[in-house]
Structure 1
Amino acid sequence: MIVMKFGGSSVANRDQIDKVLNIVRGRRGQALVVVCSAHKGITNALVDTARDAAEGRYAPEPVIERQQAIAAELGCADELLAPFYGEIRDLLRGISLVRELSPRSFDYITSFGERMSVRCIADYFVRRGLAARAYDVWDLGFITDRTFGRARPLPGYEATMKAAFAALPADEIPMVTGYVGKSTQGDVTAVGRNGSDLTATLIAAALGADEVQIWSDTDGVLTADPSVVDGARNIPLMHFGEAAELAYFGSRALHPSSLVPAMSAGVPVRVLNTNRPEHPGTVIDDHSRASESVTSIAYKENQIAVTLRSTRMFGQAGFLAQVFDILGRHGVVVDLIATSEISVSMTLTDGAALDRALPELSALGECRVVRGKTLLVVVGQSLAHRAGLGAAILGATAEAGVNVEMISYGLHSINFSMVIDDADIDRAVPVLHRMLFEDRPPA
């Protein structure tokens, strides 16, 4: 069995959906599950409309008309999505009346993108001669907790999903909603923005799939962000650990949490290009076949750098435990951390969580908070095996005229992390890429 996930750019319009149709049709001899994102731009439009409603501005028609235009382009009957349009209008009216967009309402309103998308695509496939049927993923056993915005399936979901898929007609391709779920209480939930990758790998893990295919608009995972580096190259093979690091630290090819279910179940993940289906893309699995020391460069912008200075740290056991206790109680997720005898520095992205923690952190010492930072990361399975690589990375960054304010590199680590200004991304990444992959490729 192959689980195929198509992202928003892959299902943006009829031209793109025709490409998806041909790709799926070409694999029809295998057991398939197709997971779809919302059409490109629809989820953002739903979010903007919901936020407007929370400010008292009730205007559902622009987003509905946008979806109607895509459905009309595909030749779908008006009545196919009419119930969803009615729900959207009702929900937005309620949000505008109370002027409140709760996490539950946010998940509910954003779920319509995927729910409308799979119905349009399945309907189009059927009329083009490919038997398919649309399903909301919760009708196939994907029941989640009530952690709105970051929901996860309940323990034991795998058996329920296996039974549900086994009962489906063998001659139809199930077209399944990504991103969404439903709690046992009936609340619509979301696994997180861009979470259709995660839906696909969770389904694949439950069903024991042979492979997960993530179809997007790039030739697999690349050595750098192609919007910053024109010469970014395809990475044919990657270890799960490398891919997980890249996903977390900003690689646009994968959702940060998506690899965990595949890693746990040992299901390979293949990243492919809808616009160039003949390209082999990138295969990610648990076999360490990396012969090069560097795999890719990634970055995570909009970081907040926090430095806590206190002479109480000097030679005192338990000080860091106090810091971590405060961070944990207030839900602060730290991306990078470095310590000295009298200071601890860290980066994070959740400003609201930091605001909750700051009063207690300040009681431990002097806190300095600086925003507008980027975590720039060089990832490779064999980084530690190339002598002088750290010096070369820092030298290239200095050559670009970029100041490195913080560094993290652990023993046998597969990532070398630096903190720079957001404004320096476009200067640092191309120079690093040239040094690592073009002028002097790793041995």
Structure 2
Amino acid sequence: MDCTSPSMLIGANWPKEVLDNPLSLDGDVLSLSGAADAEFSHLDHRNGKRNVYKFGGTSVGSPARLCGLVRILREERGRVLAVVVSAMGHTTDYLLEAVAFAAKGDADSALKVVDKIQALTLTNAHDTQKELEVEEIEDMTEVIVNHFKPLRELLYGICLLQEQTAAATDTVLSFGERISANIVAKLLTKAGVEAFFLDARDWLTTDDTHGCAKVFFDESKEKLQELSKEWKSNTLPVITGFIGSTRSGRTTTLGRNGSDYTATLVGSSLGADYVLINTDISGVMTADPRIVDRAAALSHLNHHEALELAVYGTRMFHARTMVPLIKGDVTMLIRNTMDPNGHGTYISGVGRSGTRETCTTSLENLAIIEARTRILQDGSSDPHQQENIGARVTKVLEELKIPVWLSIRGAHGQAISVVVPRSAEEIACVAINTELSTEIESHEVDPLNSESPVTMLSVVAEDLSTIPYNQTKFFGALADAGIEVLAVGGGCNHITLGVVRQLQKQQELYRYQHKARVNIVGFGSNCCDFLYNPKGFTFEDLISRLEDCKSTTAVVSASPSVSSAYAGAPSLDQLDQLQDSAIPILIDCSGQGNTQELYSACIERGIHVVASNARSVCRLPPTSSRESVATSRAKTGRTFFMYTSTIGASLPVIDTLGNILRTGDRVLGIETSLSGSMNFVANEVLKGKKLSEAVGEVLRKGYCERDPREDFTGTDMVAKIVVLARALGVHINPSAVELEPLIPQSVLDTITWSNTMEVDDIVSGLKSYDEVFHKKYYVPAVAENKRLHYVASIDLSKFPSIQAKIQPVLISEDHPAFYTKDNEIAFGFSSVQYPNPLVLKGSGTGAAASATGVLRDVLTILNSLNGKNVHV
């Protein structure tokens, strides 16, 4: 069983994922201390020959995820020593629900829950075989139904007794892992990977503490090593996570993150090279992504840092999970099941020198209790008395078995503050008052002071005391957010620094407000309305300010933030100045294609980049070595590369695509009319206007690119198709897109193009093509009751084969774009879960829409760093 861990927003490291697989809701998280860190270049699970693979509940919870599991193990079979699996999906929660119903005497409800679990298991077992296209689908119905018969009998017995014991609950929960491991073993075998089911109760020996049993490590290790001698060399054991048994044979469970614990026990016992935790996130995060949207994955932690994180609140792994790793000096990798080639986070015994990223974690619903003496105890006082209050408070809490998360003693023993669970606050105060009653009555000790709820935030980094920058930034965050610190403590290991503060200030402390410096590079005709309005000044006022600085380098004092606008690319000196800002952001509105050097220079300096034009993104090389970009970036930072406005302007196209893929769904195809300018032309033609007249109007409205030929010939759409493919995690070469221009190049070549030409010049040049266009598109569209649209399509149904086309099409009523009007664009996403396309439609061009899209990217960066949920 695994507790659900917070899922991160899909992000990637610079530059590979940005260039190859930049799937993101709002942009890409760039964690520059990832695999580029030479200190840990030797940590690579692909070099391991004896790796233990663990798959959590989400990784075995659906046919799509199970197919991914099978593919991973099939591809990496030569490195797999053993597999450990959790129960499928929410099975553990369902089993707890069933046993709760049974304990209340509600047998019908309990058995209905079992029916639900059984149906889920049957679907996963059979549908996974279909998706894997195995030669002969095995009917596993009998195996699954027989597996749950003893569970039904057990629940009926609990129902009769109407008593839910810890031992019975453990036995009920074991059915989840056992059927999961059994099915996975069968699926692997059907897919050509010989595997067998191994019940961990056959070797993992524990005490009888049901719900969180203690493992007898040496005894379990010896049993497992003996069992492993019987394994055939070409077969793979699929082991149940989370469960064990007492010496008398009674089923036990290992508690939170028990399957991870099982995996590390297997790895340590069998001398594994790596333990790979395959889960739904991309590694250990720098902060809780439920609060900090852009928390980034760390590249590396050492065992003791991970242990501290587990102790101080992370739910990714339990502290016990680290013990076998430390004991066997085994490296663990936490990676995303959906991105097995991603970097993830390595946790090893290797230390780290120099600066590094830090993690923050929190424990909530705590209480702080303070006892303070009124008598100054100096060197002349009795040394025993000097320690008396602190020792007595600690002792009484230990006797009551109340956990103390932080204990701080004042100088000369004058005061002690302890942080305890809020649920134990009243008991702890009564006990301490009783212990110190004599001193309180004689006024030698002040009445106890307690405060709740409070939250303890901890920052964790190896040798934290030698990295003053991290401590300074940490306490600077408190000051900026106006946080009252109630207590501060740090361990002698110099790994953790903790502070206690009021609960209601938690999110402000996590994500505090900074001023941002924004640099704007270039002004395209379609991106000059930059809507940045933090202080409430008028739109017209800002536009006039930006208009004044289009031709020169100037500073726009738009707010407490400083916005600079450059006519051309900024110099390195200007980037260095921007780098010194609290949140430096460069917005590229130039639409130029030779931007790699500029973007690299920004990322090296920790400057966030917002690209507003697809050409700026699509021309980046699909593969670039990490060493060529951002190698000098400080290891403490992370940088955002945002480009969501390049597709659909303010329309949340990439956001929607990211939401589809985050659920594990697979996109099969996209049909879109994503050129708002050409949609406008097509709509005007269908209203009866001539092509040349429609083009003249769209040019005057400012809907086209700076060079309108990019719209007419479809080259702008090609760039957007390439970027859209990147968001899907695939690469399309622009030359591979089948392109049919809306207006033929031969027609455009009859026009003399120049930077000073007027709209009327273009209109005049197109008049000779009006009649041809009318007969080719208008006449059949009216006759067939169809509409003309310039349509782009991506076909992924036969992936890895990909087909991309752009062509004028007469569409019928069932097309996503049929009901668009004016300059609206439309997208239809077809997927496994959406056989009928999910349609997204709205305004997709124009200065206001483009500017809103850019502003949204800027606000996303600010929100992620500052923690304000601003909706545009």
Could you state the TM-score of these two structures normalised by the residue count of structure 1?
Answer: 0.90
Counterpart of 1:333?
403
Number of the residue aligned with 2:748: none
The 5 Å alignment of 1:303-322 reads: 303-309=366-372, 315-322=385-392
1:56 aligns with 2:111: no
| Deviation larger for 307-316 or 25-34 | 307-316
Deviation at 1:208, TM superposition (A): 1.2
1:295–1:42 CA distance, 2 compared to 1 (3 A): same
- The Cα offsets for residues 386-441 of structure 1, whole Å up to 9 and x where unpaired, read as 33643432221232243322211245521111123444333222239998997897
**Which of 204, 208, 215 does residue 142 from structure 1 map onto?**
204
User: For 1:359 and 1:97, how far apart are their aligned partners in 2?
Assistant: 41
Matching residue's letter, 2:120:
I
Residues 1:395 and 2:465 are matched in the alignment = no
Which AA in structure 2 matches 1:425? Q
Give the alignment of 1:412-427 within 5 angstroms: 413-427=494-508
After TM superposition, the structure 1 stretch with the greater mean CA deviation from structure 2, 20-29 or 431-440, is 431-440
Q: Tell me what 2:338 maps to.
A: 275
Classify 1:325/1:57 alpha carbon distance in 2 versus 1 (closer, same or farther; 3 Å).
farther
1:347 is aligned to 2:419: yes
Which range is displaced more, 424-433 or 276-285? 424-433
Deviation at 1:286, TM superposition (A): 1.1
1:326-350 Cα shifts (integer Å, max 9, x gaps): 3333322222121234442222348
CA 313–4 in structure 1, closer or farther in 2 if over 3 Å, else same: farther
Q: Is structure 2 residue 462 aligned with structure 1 residue 381?
A: yes
Residue 27 (structure 1) aligned with residue 76 (structure 2): yes
Aligned to 1:41: 90
Q: 1:198, CA displacement in angstroms?
A: 0.8
- The CA deviation at 1:209 is 1.1
Matched, 1:68 2:130: no
On the 8 A contact 1:313/1:319 being kept in 2, the answer is no
- Alpha-carbon distance change, 39 to 200 in structure 1, aligned in 2, over 3 angstroms: same
In the alignment, is the contact (CA less than 8 A) between 1:5 and 1:197 conserved in 2? yes
Give yes or no for contact 1:332–1:350 (8 Å, CA) kept in 2: no
* Amino acid in the other structure paired with 2:205: I
Structure 2 counterparts to residues 22-421 of structure 1, below 5 A:
22-58=71-107, 59-73=109-123, 74-75=125-126, 77-139=140-202, 141-154=203-216, 155-309=218-372, 315-340=385-410, 341-349=413-421, 351=423, 359-365=430-436, 366-367=447-448, 370-387=451-468, 389-411=470-492, 413-421=494-502
1:31–1:441 CA distance, 2 compared to 1 (3 A): closer
Partner residue of 2:509 out of 428, 431, 435: 428
> 2:487 is aligned with what amino acid?
M
**Equivalent AA in structure 2 for residue 400 of structure 1:** A
Structure 2 SS opposite 1:305: strand
1:106 is displaced (CA, Å) by 2.4
Show structure 1 runs of 5+ residues with no match: none
- In the superposition, relative to structure 1, how do residues 47 and 369 fare at CA in structure 2: closer, same or farther (>3 Å)? farther
Partner Cα distance (2:159, 2:367) in 1: 33
Q: Which amino acid aligns with 2:92?
A: T
Q: Deviations over 1:20-48 (max 9, x none)?
A: 11111112113421000111211112222
Report the CA distance between 1:232 and its aligned residue. 1.7
CA contact (8 A) 1:56 1:99 kept: yes
Cα distance in 2 for partners of 1:312, 1:79 equals: 76
CA distance in 2, matches of 1:217, 1:97: 39
Q: Deviations over 1:96-130 (max 9, x none)?
A: 33333222222222222211211122222222222
Change (3 A) 1:100 1:349: farther
Secondary structure of the 2:330 match is: coil
**Which residue of the partner structure matches residue 132 of structure 2?**
none
| Structure 1 counterpart of 2:204, one-letter code | F
How far is 1:197 from its partner?
A: 0.8
2:559 aligns with none
Q: SS of the residue aligned with 1:175? A: strand
Distance 1:358 1:237, change over 3 A: same
8 Å CA contact retained: 2:407, 2:417: yes
What SS does structure 2 have at the residue aligned with 1:337?
strand
Q: Which amino acid aligns with 2:166?
A: P
Moved more, 21-30 or 393-402: 393-402
Work out the CA distance in 1 between the residues paired with 2:164 and 2:192: 42
Residues 387 and 30 (structure 1), Cα distance of their counterparts in 2 relative to 1, 3 Å cut: closer
Letter in 1 for 2:77: R
Q: What is the TM-score when the length of structure 2 is the normalising length?
A: 0.47
* CA apart distance, 1:201: 0.7
**SS of structure 2 residue aligned to 1:156:** helix
- Distance, in Å, in 2 between the alignment partners of 1:149 and 1:336 is 26
- Cα distance in 1 for partners of 2:478, 2:276 equals 35
Per-residue deviation, residues 178-228 of structure 1 (Å, max 9, x unmatched) = 111000112111111221111111111111111111111111112122222
Counterparts of 1:369 and 1:49 in 2: how far apart (Å)?
40
Contact residue 366 and residue 453 of structure 2 kept, 8 A = yes
Q: Is the 8 A contact 1:305 1:373 kept in 2?
A: yes
SS in 2 for 1:222: coil
Quick one: which amino acid aligns to residue 413 of structure 1? H
Aligned-partner Cα distance in 2 for 1:278–1:284? 17
Q: Which has the larger radius of gyration?
A: 2
Distance 1:404 1:356, change over 3 A: closer
**What is the CA–CA distance in structure 2 between the aligned matches of 1:81 and 1:362, rounded to whole Å?**
58
Deviates more, 1:393-402 or 1:115-124: 393-402
Superposed CA RMSD in Å reads 2.8
Identical counterparts, % of pairs? 29
TM-aligned CA distance change 1:101 to 1:394, over 3 Å: same
Equivalent residue for 1:15, pick from 44, 54, 64: 64
- Taking a change above 3 Å as real, the CA distance of residues 122 and 432 of structure 1, as seen in their structure-2 partners, is farther
Q: Distance in 2 between matches of 1:46 and 1:291?
A: 48
What one-letter code is carried by the residue in structure 1 that aligns with 2:484? N
Give the aligned length. Answer: 441
Query: Is contact 1:305–1:370 with CA below 8 Å preserved after alignment?
Result: yes
Distance 1:8 1:306, change over 3 A: farther
Query: Residues 384 and 412 of structure 1 are in contact (CA less than 8 Å); yes or no, is this contact kept in structure 2?
Result: no
Report the residue type matching 1:61 in the other structure.
Answer: L
Q: Is the 8 A contact 1:33 1:175 kept in 2?
A: yes
Counterpart AA for 1:48: E
Whole-Å separation in 2 of the counterparts to 1:121 and 1:110 = 18
Amino acid of the residue matched to residue 434 of structure 2? A
Q: In 2, Cα distance between the equivalents of 1:129 and 1:27?
A: 13
